[in-house]
């Protein structure tokens, strides 16, 4: 990033200067501040192109994902990604999760968190600048605004122009398109929670639930308000990430930086002027004009900077015009700038103890997730013993304990299980609602496809079989057709000995 080859030949006679100030300039701060409208100027360049691609990718993933199909056995839904609140299931392609397995979601959040730390410690707020929905949708809304109202100067003119039919017309068109985008965004969200094609038809035939309409309405409003009206205010005032990111970054983290040593002292430039005794910054303020949060990157690292890198593109364009090397504003680390100032070789230290630690933690979390997903059992058992009463003395002197056994059948077909309990000689099982008993009797219970079966059972230990007030016992359930089985350790309580 530091070496960009030989400077091009100057091609323009004069550099355009912009009448713009940084919104967070010292002089413009007062007790309660009215929001200053920012009119980001369109730029062209490497990073703008990269951002177009990422925008296409992220919007594509968001809008298309719920429409992907994935064949599943039995009555399970065929939607690839589905959060089914009604039936309490989460589907993601080949993965299917029950509410009991919510720790996978926790694992995913941990991975996202550590991943964010890793990226931030390496290349700063790349999340903010490229991937954050707030950035992506604001960018999208800006595309619409530019298409209708023109670029920066045209928009400023329009804002200052007296009210007219033409102005109102442009505004109405712009807000209508914004609202349509917002509606599509809010609309797409609900498709993750129900069968998308069905819900799509229901939404238009007014048959969808009020929850669906409510969610669409709220998200439409939020998309419109946050992406169209609030924009950088969200990043600066609402989002906690700008505050948190500071602890993930250090002096070796690459971030969007103004190379002060090269740029200063800044001064306006006309073709033919000498470059002696001055910096390369021509104070054209193209960087401020392009900035979506309206700041001046030359003031140094700031909370408002989302590192979208558009100022790099803006500055590089200018540098090309005036026949200088690009990269006056560039991705660089503060330590590297220091090194260059001292005449030491330039070097980006991506691999540092911090990044190695984050990467290891991320890989470790990922591996644990992968292993647990791959070895996820399709059968689970939970045994709750009655605590009130702990045990019951029967008339023949035997002791009974009550248990509630829950069997989770995570397969898309009905299964029948044989239940047996070991640990006490001559113990009998009586499943409430089922018939049969006796020492060698193994009750059979059926659990429907993809369901939880709850069974209450009373175990009875014959008189004299207990040698202590607590005896370890083990429940064993065995699928009678596939031989897959699982067990659960519990205890049998009796009177104090």
Question: Which stretches of the chain bind another protein, using CB under 8 A?
Answer: 26, 29-35, 230, 233, 237, 386-389, 392-397, 400, 402, 430, 432-433, 456, 458
Query: Which lies closer to another protein via its Cβ, residue 230 or residue 286?
Result: 230
What is the H or E stretch that residue 462 is in? none
Beta bridge partners of 416: 446
Residues in the chain: 497
Q: Which CB atom, from 33 or from 356, has the smaller least distance to another protein?
A: 33
Interacting residues of 277 by C-beta distance below 8 A, sequence separation 6+: none
**CA nearest 16: which of 278, 265, 290?**
290
223 or 400: CB nearest another protein:
400
> At 454, which helix (H) or strand (E)?
strand 451-461
96/296 with CB nearer another protein: 296
Please, which residue, 29 or 342, has the CB nearer to another protein?
29
Q: Considering beta carbons, is residue 75 or 446 the nearer one to another protein?
A: 446
Is the N-terminal amide bond of 265 cis, ω within 30° of 0? yes
Least gap, CB of 392 to another protein (angstroms): 4
**Nearer Cβ to another protein (154/247):** 247
What CA–CA distance (Å, rounded) separates 2 from 376? 48
Q: How far is the CB of 300 from another protein (least distance, A)?
A: 10
CB of 120 to another protein, least distance (A): 22
3-state secondary structure of 170: helix
CA 197, 200, 201, 202 torsion-angle sign = positive
Own/partner pairs, 190-198, CB within 8 angstroms, 24+ separation: 190/215, 190/216, 191/66, 191/67, 192/65, 192/66, 192/81, 192/82, 192/83, 193/82, 193/83, 193/84, 193/85, 194/82, 194/84, 195/77, 195/79, 195/82, 196/66, 196/67, 196/79, 197/67
> What are the tokens at 198?
């069905």
What is the nearest approach in angstroms of another protein to the Cβ of residue 235? 12
Shortest Å, Cβ 222 to another protein:
14
Whole-angstrom Cα distance, residue 343 to residue 339?
6
Q: By C-beta, is 162 or 397 nearer to another protein? A: 397
- Tell me how far apart the alpha carbons of residues 340 and 474 are, in angstroms, rounded to a whole number: 70
> Which CB sits closer to another protein, 64 or 393?
393
Look at residues 273, 284, 295 and name the one whose alpha carbon lies nearest to residue 26: 295
Nearest Cα neighbor of 305 from 294, 290, 313 is 294
Q: Indicate the residue among 205 and 395 with the shorter CB distance to another protein.
A: 395
User: Up-side HSE of residue 365: CA atoms within 13 Å toward CB?
Assistant: 19
Give the Cβ contact number of residue 221 at 10 Å.
14
Alpha helices in 194-322 (DSSP H): 196-204, 210-223, 232-233, 241-248, 260-263, 286-290, 310-321
Closest CB 265 distance from another protein, rounded Å: 21
Considering the complex, state which of residue 33 and residue 64 has its C-beta at the smaller distance from another protein: 33
Minimal distance, residue 432 CB to another protein, in Å: 5
Residue whose CB is less far from another protein, 15 or 445: 445
| Minimum distance of another protein from residue 190's CB (angstroms) | 25
Token pair of 194, please? 């129900």
Shortest Cβ distance from residue 437 to another protein (Å)? 12
Whether the CB-CB separation of 221 and 182 falls below 8 Å is answered with yes
Least Å from the CB of residue 24 to another protein: 9
Strand 379-385 and strand 392-393: pairing? unpaired
Query: Rounded to the nearest whole angstrom, what is the least distance from the CB of residue 138 to another protein in the complex?
Result: 16
224 CB-near residues (< 8 Å, 6+ apart): 178, 179, 182
For the bound state, the minimum distance from the C-beta of residue 236 to another protein, rounded and expressed in Å, comes to 8
């Amino acid at each position: 990033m530091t070496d960009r080859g030989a400077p091009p030949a100057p091609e323009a006679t004069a550099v355009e200067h912009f009448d713009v100030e940084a919104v967070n300039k010292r002089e413009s701060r007062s007790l309660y501040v009215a929001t200053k409208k920012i009119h980001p100027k369109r730029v062209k360049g490497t990073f703008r192109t990269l951002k177009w691609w990422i925008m296409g990718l992220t919007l594509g993933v968001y809008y298309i994902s719920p429409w992907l199909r994935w064949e599943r056995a039995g009555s399970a839904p065929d939607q690839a990604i589905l959060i089914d609140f009604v039936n309490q299931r989460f589907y993601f392609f080949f993965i299917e999760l029950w509410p009991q397995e919510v720790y996978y979601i926790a694992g995913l959040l941990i991975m996202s968190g550590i991943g964010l730390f890793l990226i931030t410690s390496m290349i700063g707020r790349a999340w903010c600048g490229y991937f954050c929905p707030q950035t992506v949708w604001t960018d999208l809304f800006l595309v619409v605004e530019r298409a209708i109202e023109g670029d920066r100067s045209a928009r400023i003119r329009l804002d200052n122009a007296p009210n007219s039919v033409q102005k109102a017309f442009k505004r109405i068109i712009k807000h209508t398109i914004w609202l349509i985008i917002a509606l599509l965004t809010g609309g797409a969200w609900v498709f993750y929670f129900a069968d998308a094609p069905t819900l799509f038809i229901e939404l238009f035939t007014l048959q969808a639930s009020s929850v669906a309409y409510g969610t669409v309405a709220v998200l439409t409003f939020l998309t419109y308000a946050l992406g169209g009206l609030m924009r950088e205010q969200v990043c600066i005032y609402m989002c906690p990430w700008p505050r948190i990111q500071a602890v993930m970054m250090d002096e070796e983290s690459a971030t969007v930086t103004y190379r002060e040593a090269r740029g200063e002292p800044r001064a306006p430039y006309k073709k033919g002027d000498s470059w002696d005794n001055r910096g390369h910054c021509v104070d054209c303020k193209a960087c401020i004009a392009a900035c979506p949060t309206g700041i001046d990157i030359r003031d140094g690292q700031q909370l408002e900077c989302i590192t979208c890198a558009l100022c790099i593109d803006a500055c590089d364009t200018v540098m090309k015009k005036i026949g200088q090397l690009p990269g006056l504003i560039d991705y660089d680390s503060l330590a590297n700038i220091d090194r260059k100032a001292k005449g030491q070789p330039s070097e980006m230290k991506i691999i540092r103890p911090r990044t190695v630690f984050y990467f290891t933690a991320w890989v470790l979390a990922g591996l644990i997730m992968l292993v647990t997903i791959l070895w996820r059992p399709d059968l689970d058992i939970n045994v709750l013993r009655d605590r009130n009463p702990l045990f019951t003395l029967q008339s023949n002197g035997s002791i009974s304990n009550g248990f509630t056994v829950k069997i989770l059948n995570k397969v898309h077909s009905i299964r029948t299980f044989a239940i047996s309990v070991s640990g006490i000689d001559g113990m009998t099982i009586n499943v409430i609602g089922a018939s049969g008993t006796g020492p060698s009797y193994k009750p059979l219970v059926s659990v429907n496809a993809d369901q939880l079966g709850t069974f209450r059972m009373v175990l009875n230990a014959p008189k004299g079989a207990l040698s202590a007030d607590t005896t370890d016992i083990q429940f064993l359930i065995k699928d009678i057709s596939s031989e897959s089985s699982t067990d659960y350790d519990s205890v049998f309580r009796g009177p104090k000995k």
